[in-house]
């Protein structure tokens, strides 16, 4: 491969990685605070993508980027209510229960989507979908560039929120020391719900950024969630920096492996790198020993 092609592959991989980072950040946040893997992650992403799809269709005709604040806020609310109304209520404080509940939610959501929207794939045709921007020798579709930039911006804002606000500090405190948090007057159940809400809000934003160049079907969430799970494990469970590095690495590996071995065989690149890194660093790139 020529250096130009490799450069283009890396750039396109990074662009794709932005979304992985966003989806994985939501997953890692929920893991870090609630100590559970949110099995409903993919299904909720899929529902958010349908929301973007229907907002775009007549009569509303809302552009996915304009819909972003709305869908993100809606997703937060949905996550918050889901935690308060279902997950927290049914879990009785037991982590393994939460795990099963999120799995159950995912099955319900998938089948409801299949029933309501059929299994057909749907896309939205935005006018700017065919626009390309050249970054040196690399040619990048405009929606992918936007999705990368916006993902990074959202992650940066989330980082600021977590480090600068009382709520963000409380979330980090609850992640490691629940009893201590209660003793300074933090409403731990509320923090759980807020964290779950933020995790799902990441999916809302990701859905808006994805839809201009991706399709939605009742199973399209799983594509990303498999990658997000890999990202979270790769980066170190519960680590924000790990989600960032892991998501970008996976995007690049996927892209380069696709160039070298073709789309189909290239898919093997991700699990291979995954296994390799875990062999060298069993706790993930950013995980504590």
Partner 1 sequence: MLEVRGLRAGYGQIEILRGIDMQVGAGEIVALLGSNGVGKSTLNNNICGLYRPFAGRILFEGEELTGARPEAIVARGLIQVPEGRRVFPNLSVRENLELGSYCRGKPHRAANLERVVTTFPRLRERLVQKAGTLSGGEQQMLAIGRGLMAEPKLLILDEPSLGLSPLLVEEMFALIQRLNAEGLAILLVEQNVVQSLAIAHRACVLEAGVLAMSGTAAGLAANTDLRRAYLGM
Helix (H, G, I), strand (E, B) or coil at 233: helix
Residue 259 C-alpha from the chain's centroid: 25
- Nearest approach in angstroms of CB 182 to partner 1 is 4
Residue 47: burial class (beta carbons within 10 Å; 0-12, 13-18, 19+): buried
Query: In the 8-state DSSP scheme, what is residue 36?
Result: S
Q: Which stretch binds partner 1 (CB under 8 A): 77-85, 139-147, 185-193, 247-255?
A: 185-193
Q: Which stretch binds partner 1 (CB under 8 A): 152-160, 174-182, 244-252, 279-287?
A: 174-182
- For residues 140-169, which are near partner 1 according to CB under 8 A? 166, 169
- For residues 36-95, which are near partner 1 according to CB under 8 A? none
The percent of the chain in helix, strand and coil, each rounded to the nearest 5, is 75, 5, 20
- Nearest approach in angstroms of CB 235 to partner 1 is 16
**Closest Cα to residue 273, out of 213, 239, 230?**
230
- Nearest approach in angstroms of CB 184 to partner 1 is 5
Do the beta carbons of residue 196 and residue 80 sit within 8 Å?
Answer: yes
252 binding partner 1? (CB under 8 A)? no
Query: In the 8-state DSSP scheme, what is residue 129?
Result: G
177 binding partner 1? (CB under 8 A)? yes
Q: Which stretch binds partner 1 (CB under 8 A): 43-51, 179-187, 241-249, 273-281?
A: 179-187
Query: Using CB under 8 A, which of 35, 84, 172, 281 touches partner 1?
Result: 172
Smaller CB distance to partner 1: residue 36 or 191?
191
143 sits in which H/E element:
helix 142-164
Chain contacts with partner 1 (rule: CB under 8 A): 166, 169-170, 172-173, 175-177, 179-187
């Amino acid at each position: 491969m020529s250096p130009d092609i490799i450069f283009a592959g890396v750039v396109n991989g990074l662009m794709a990685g932005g979304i992985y980072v966003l989806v994985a950040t939501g997953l890692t946040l929920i893991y870090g605070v609630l100590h559970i893997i949110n099995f409903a992650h993919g299904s909720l992403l899929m529902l958010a993508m349908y929301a973007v799809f229907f907002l775009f269709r007549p009569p509303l005709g809302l552009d996915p980027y304009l819909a972003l604040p709305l869908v993100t806020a809606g997703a937060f609310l949905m996550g918050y209510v889901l935690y308060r109304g279902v997950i927290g209520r049914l879990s009785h404080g037991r982590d393994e229960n939460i795990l099963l509940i999120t799995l159950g939610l995912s099955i319900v959501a998938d089948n409801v989507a299949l029933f309501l929207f059929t299994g057909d794939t749907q896309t939205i045709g935005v006018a700017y979908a065919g626009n390309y921007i050249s970054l040196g020798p690399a040619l990048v579709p405009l929606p992918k560039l936007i999705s990368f930039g916006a993902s990074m911006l959202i992650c940066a804002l989330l980082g600021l929120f977590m480090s600068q606000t009382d709520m963000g500090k409380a979330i980090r405190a609850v992640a490691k020391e629940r009893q201590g948090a209660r003793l300074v007057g933090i409403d731990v159940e509320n923090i759980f719900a807020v964290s779950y809400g933020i995790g799902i809000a990441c999916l809302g934003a990701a859905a808006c950024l994805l839809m201009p160049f991706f399709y939605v079907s009742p199973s399209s969430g799983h594509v990303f969630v498999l990658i997000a799970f890999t990202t979270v494990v790769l980066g170190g469970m519960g680590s924000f920096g790990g989600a960032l590095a892991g998501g970008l690495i996976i995007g690049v590996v996927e892209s380069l492996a696709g160039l070298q071995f073709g789309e189909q065989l290239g898919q093997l690149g991700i699990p291979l790198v995954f296994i390799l890194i875990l062999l060298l660093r069993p706790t993930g790139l950013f995980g504590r020993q």
